[in-house]
Amino acid sequence: MIATAQFVFVFGTLKKGFPLHRRGLAHATYLGLYRTATTYPLLVAGPWFAPMMFNEPGIGLRVSGELYHVDAATLERLDRMESIGKPGNFRRSIRIVPARHGPSCEALAYFKARFLAVPVHTGYLRSYEDRRFVPPWRRKL
């Protein structure tokens, strides 16, 4: 199936000013600050201090992030960066609302499975601002 242009909600290292933004969203159209319409668990976890949101609506906090309009090529690049297709990595459509005013919409968001969140470094977060993330090009395996 060929992907078409989509809205993507990002809440972690793909946001402006974070390590993966330029590699993932440099040419995407920024649409503004948004937050999830319902609560989700977001925390920092794993050996690389990655932000991870779990597809468990009703748990955690309303998560703040950025909304982008992306083309098919950008969506495919984001899927590779987010390890879509590997166990515990997936994306789903969720409802988001603007931080200030305006209508809600559906956007794709990237989720992780809880088994990837070892060790856990924070409690649930409303907004990801942590700077400990180790990008792939700086990891020593």
CB 39 within 8 A of CB 58: yes
**CA–CA distance, 138 with 35 (Å, rounded to integer):** 30
Q: Which residue intervals of the chain are DSSP H helices?
A: 21-25, 72-81
Query: What DSSP designation does 114 have?
Result: G
Block residue for tokens 């950008």: 74
What residues contact 99, with CB distance under 8 A and at least 6 apart?
32, 33, 34, 35, 64
Phi, psi of 105 (to 5 degrees): -155, 170
What are the residue numbers of the active site? 82
